Amino acid sequence: MKFKIQYLLFVFALIPYISFAQTKQAGIQQFLNNKGLKHASVGICVKDFSGKQIASHNPEKSYTPASILKVVTTATSLEVLGAEYKYKTTLAKNNNDKNRLLIHGYGDPTLGTEHLENIPNAFLSQWVDQIKQNTDSTENIDITVIDDYFGYEGISDRWIYQDLGNYYAAATYGISIFDNTYKLYFNTVRRDTCPVIIRTDPEMNIEFKNILRLNSSGQDNGYIHGEPFSNKRLITGDIPGGKASFSIKGDIPNPGLYLGEVLAKKLSEDNYKVGKIENTYERYYDQMYKDKKESSDEKVFYTHYSFPLKDIVKDTNVRSNNHYAEHLIRTVGREKEKDIYTPSLDAGIEKTKELWKIRGFNTNALMMYDGSGLSPANAVSPAFMCDLLVYMQTKSKNADVFLESLPKAGKDGTVKNRLKGTRLAGKIAMKSGSINGVQCFSGYYIDGDKKYAFTIMVNKFTGPRSEIVRAIDTLLLSLF
C-alpha cells in the first residue's frame, strides 16, 4: 500500500511537467504545419540550464546554420583567447635597412573600423606622430607592410561566386583597414543607360566592368564580383533608379598594400618622401617551400592595440559582422599553429572542434568551413548549439560577456524587429542567421528563474522569408 501511494505521488508530481512539455510540443507541431515548411528541413531544440531537453524536433540532425555559426565562433574565441585579448599592429625600423619602415599586422580587424564608436582615420595621425619621433624626415623612406600572419588564402574555398568581392565576404589577412570595405557610388537618374559610376569612398584603384540594371522596387540587388588581390571587378544585378547618389559596398582587394599607400599619402603631407611601397605577398610565396625562410629584422618603436575581444565579439553577434568573425576563427587558428605557412582557417576550425570535444560535445554534428556562416556547406545540429549555449552560461568564466554579446529581441541588432511589443521583447537574447533558403535563430530565454537555451533551424523553406520569420516568432511565444 505504501509503495502504491509513493507511486501515485510520483505520477502526480510528473503531471505538470508532462503537461508543460506537451504544450511546447503542440506549439512545435503547429509551426511545422506552416505551408512554407512543407518541403523544408526543420530542427528544433530547447534545453533548460541543467541540460535537460524540454522540447525538440530532429535535434540531432545537422542543418545549414548561416550566421548562427557566429555563436560557435565567438564562444570559442572567448574560451581560447579571453575577453580582454587585444590584437596588435607594430611599427618598426628595419635593422638592416635604416630607411625602411615596417608595419607588422597580427590580424586586427578593427584598424580604421567604422564600428565600435571608432573614428576611422584617427589611428593614421597617431602613427604619423610616432613615425616623426623615430625617423628622419629628410631621408627617403620605403614602406613594407607585413600582412602574412594568416597567410594569403583570405577566403574560404567553400564560399560561392556571387559573394566574392562584396563587403560581407571581405578577405581576411594579417592587416585589415577600414573593415576591408569601400563604397561604390552611382547616379541612377537616367534610365536610358546603366547606372553611372561616380566614385569610390575611400578612393580605390579598381577597374570596374558595369552591367548593372535599374529597378523600380527600391531594393539593392547589386553585387560586386572579384577575386582577392585582383583590381578588376564585375558589377551585376540591379539597384534603384531615380537616385542622384546610391552606393553599394565591395571589399578592398589588397588591404595591406592599401594601408601602405594611405600611410604614405599621410606622411607626404608632413614632408616625407616615400619611395617603394610593398607588402610581403611575393616573399611569402617565393619562400613557401624553402627550408630557410627570410624574416624582417624589426626594431619596434610603437605598438597599436585593438579594442578588447569582448567588444569585437559583441559587434560580431549584434551586427552579424562577417569580417570580424573571419578574423576571430583565424586568430584561434594561430593560437594552435604559430607557423604562418599553416592555413589559419583550417587550424581555427580544428581548434574549435578540439575545444568542444574536450568539453564532452559530439563534434561530429559540427561541420565548419568558415567562422561567419557564409558558406552554405556549413552544418551543425540544434542539440550541439543548445549544449554550447548551456555551457557558456553554466560553466564558462565568460558567461556574462557572452550573454551580453547577443542582441536582444525587439531591442537591437539583427533581431530588433523580432517579437517587438510582445511579452518576450528584451527577455530573449539570440543570434539570427539567414542565407538563401535558410532561416535560423539561436540563443536564450531568461526571465528570473526561467532560463532556457534554444535553437530553431529551417532549411529550404518556400514562400516569403517574412512569413517564416513571423511563424518563428509565434513558435517562440508558444515555447516560452
For 93-116, how does the pLDDT look when each residue is reduced to its tens digit (9 = 90+)? 999 888 899 999 999 999 999 999
**CATH number, residue 45:** 3.40.710.10
Mean pLDDT by 10 residues, the chain (480 residues): 52 47 84 95 97 96 98 98 98 92 98 95 96 89 97 96 95 97 96 92 95 93 95 96 95 97 95 95 93 89 98 98 98 97 98 97 97 98 98 98 97 94 96 97 96 98 96 96
Helix (H), strand (E) at residue 399: helix 399-405
C-alpha distances (whole Å) from 419 to each of 317, 352, 358 are 18, 32, 36
Distance, CA of 67 to CA of 318 (rounded, Å): 11
405/265 same-domain check: no
Q: Considering 268, 284, 305, which residue would you say is the last residue of a domain?
A: 305
Report pLDDT for 296.
Answer: 85
Measured CA angle at 184 (ends 180, 189), to 5 deg:
165
Q: Do the Cβ atoms of 53 and 46 come closer than 8 Å?
A: yes
Q: Would 7 be classed as within a structural domain? A: no
| 263 and 330 together in one domain | no
For residues 316 and 465, membership in a common domain is answered with yes
In a domain, 189, yes or no: yes
DSSP line for 153-210? --S-TTS-TTTTTBGGG----SB--GGGEEEEEEE---SSSSPEEEEEES----EEEE
What's the pLDDT score for residue 13?
A: 42
Q: Which three cell numbers stand for residue 31?
A: 509551426
Residue 293: CB atoms within 10 Å: 14
Q: Please state, in angstroms and rounded to a whole number, the distance separating the CA atoms of residues 281 and 444.
A: 44
Select from 254, 272, 305 the last residue of a domain: 305
* Domain ranges, residue 57: 23-83+311-479
Of the three residues 260, 287, 305, the one that is the final residue of a domain is 305
Sequence-ordered list of residues with C-beta below 8 angstroms from that of 119, at least 6 positions apart, any chain = none
Same-domain pairing of 414 and 378: yes
Are residues 117 and 242 both part of a single domain?
Answer: yes
Confirm whether 4 is domain-assigned: no
User: Residue 321, Cα to own-chain centre: how many angstroms?
Assistant: 4
Please report, for residues 108, 116, 156, 310, the alpha-carbon distance to residue 306 in angstroms, rounded to integers and kept in the order given. 6, 11, 24, 11
What are the pLDDT digits (tens) for 305-359?
999 999 999 999 999 999 999 999 999 999 999 999 999 999 999 999 999 999 9
DSSP state letter for 195 = P
Cell of 101: 619602415
Residue type, 405: S
Q: Please indicate, yes or no, whether residues 275 and 137 belong to a single structural domain of this protein.
A: yes
Number of domains within the chain: 2
| pLDDT at position 282 | 95
CA dihedral 199, 202, 203, 204 (to 10 degrees): -100
Task: Give the chain's end-to-end CA distance (angstroms, integer).
Answer: 39
CB 307 within 8 A of CB 86: yes
263 and 159 in a common domain:
yes
Identify whether residues 404 and 374 lie together within a single domain.
Answer: yes
Report if residue 407 sits inside a domain.
yes
Instruction: Judge whether 457 lies within some domain.
Output: yes
Phi/psi at 185 (5° precision): -100, 140
Residue 232 lies in a domain: yes
Q: Is residue 9 part of a domain?
A: no
Dihedral class, residue 369 (left if φ above 0, else alpha if ψ from -120 to 50, else beta):
alpha
The pLDDT assigned to 11 comes to 43
Which residue carries 583567447 as its cell? 81
d(CA 41, CA 459): 5
Give yes or no: residues 218 and 345 share one domain: no
One domain, residues 108 and 123: yes
Q: Kindly state whether residue 10 falls inside one of the protein's structural domains.
A: no
Q: What is the pTM of this model?
A: 0.93
Clarify whether residues 201 and 57 are in a common domain: no
Pair (405, 429) in one structural domain? yes
Contact 452, 480 (CB under 8 A): yes
Burial of 117 by CB count in 10 Å (0-12 exposed, 13-18 middle, 19+ buried)? exposed
